[in-house]
Amino acid sequence: MIRLLLLALLVLATVLVTRTLLYGGDAEFAADVGAPEQAAPIQLDEDLVLGRLSRAITFPTVSPQPPQPRDEQAFSGFLDWLESAYPRVFGALEAERIGGLTLLLTWRGSDRDARPVLLAGHYDVVPVTTDSGSEWTHPPFAGTVADGYLWGRGALDNKNGVIGLLEAVDWMLAHDERPARTVYFSFGHDEEIGGEDGAGAVVEALERRGARLAWSLDEGSFVFERMFPGVEERIAVINTAEKGSVTVRITASAAGGHSSMPPRRTAVGRLAEALVALERNPMPGGLDGLPAQTFDAVGPHMPFLPRLMFANRWLLGPLVEAQLEDLTFANAMMRTTTAPTMLSGSPKVNVLPTEASAIVNFRVHPRDTVESVLQHVRTLVENEHVRVEAVGGREASGVSNAHGEGFRAVARAVRGEFGELIVAPGLLVAATDTRHYARIADDAYRFNPMVVTEDELDGFHGIDERIPVAGMLQGVRAYVRLLRSL
């Protein structure tokens, strides 16, 4: 019996090791992307590029939460400055201000039979909270270049993309190079609050003109360094889908009164119990679909032990998923996430509220729906003292083709600039204007061709937003290579 057990263990170990050694992830996908092209280096006026991004950041184009008004002068001033900063671009391309503040540029191609593409970004930014300004290493709207970074609100989200694309077009025009197919450039003014009046209006305008895009590219993931433990290679995650979102208001009720005589169950206590229940019982997750494609692209480059685990998910899948759930970014890729964000209760320290409420934001995985999330919440917390109300929601996007023309064009441009790196399709856990552009595009992708690390990602919507100078310049060159391929 012991011999049989040992033999079975030996056979199992042989199978596990053999599968690990043969593990190639998605070999067909890797072959489809192809090897880097050996193209000549692209010479930029680096000081000019950085100077223009620095100046762009000085415009406080903040999209406040409605109904608070925006600073219209900052937005129109930014657009006026773009025209003066890029006379070659605005002289050669057709420029329109859609909805007054979103910029649509049209670069007419010579091949009328080729389907057009759209490259996009947004120039509005999130607010800097008044109590955090002093915590910034450099003022958030100064556009400071120091210590190998360009600092400021919008450096990563997403004036880097807007300026990067304009710099690439300017470089092409200066070198008398033009794409054969028509290219649209859309730079939105309200992405941070939904994009309805910006990207949404651009799509409506293009629809009226009968435009149908082969594909679109907007902001998204980056070329990541040191994001996956043990993986030394850079990883370009080109997002082929993005999560949806549903926001829920949870309201708990109880007897009010004076805080000196509280009842056994308060509204705040009931609300707290509901929130704890939601956090302890997340929506079911799993490493399948698009996240599985991402990790299959990265898996062959992992150290032996994690590679063994990923190569043998048929046996070790639950263990793999348990480990990934401890990584914030991986957990967000695998499931619909739960995030309580806003609370309200009593207006006074000694008054018991009759109602206490919380806003909870769920980012909806493509396997789930808005309705399934609402049903999950109601099943967990709704009762005679706790009510659940949806206050806004949209479904996850469709999944674009990771073997399509647009994906290959972006991947080859990135490899042409960065050399050998891992290219993987991915799921964007945030939201972009692409949800609008995808209405008129066969495929929609979300990616910034710039290198960032996990430390720099902390600046997104936070303190000390910044972009590496070298990464920004590489991004401009990658955009040039992408335009050349068109």
96 a catalytic residue:
no
Side-chain half-sphere CA neighbours of 168 within 13 A = 28
Between CA 469 and CA 474, with CA 471 as vertex, the angle to 5 degrees is 110
Q: How many Cβ atoms from other residues are within 10 Å of residue 224's Cβ?
A: 24
Phi, psi angles (nearest 5°) of residue 426: -150, 170
71 catalytic? Reply is no
Task: Give the chain's end-to-end CA distance (angstroms, integer).
Answer: 66
- Alpha carbons within 13 A on the beta-carbon side of 194: 10
* Structure token digits, residue 190: 């309200």
Please tell me whether residue 93 adopts helix, strand or coil conformation: coil
Catalytic one among 157, 190, 191, 192?
A: 191
Give 161-225 as a 3 state SS string.
HHHHHHHHHHHHHHCCCCCCCCEEEEEECCHHHCCCCCHHHHHHHHHHCCCCEEEEEEEEEEEEE
Give the separation between CA 19 and CA 13, rounded to whole angstroms. Answer: 10
CA distance 187 to 158: 10
- Active site positions, annotated: 124, 191
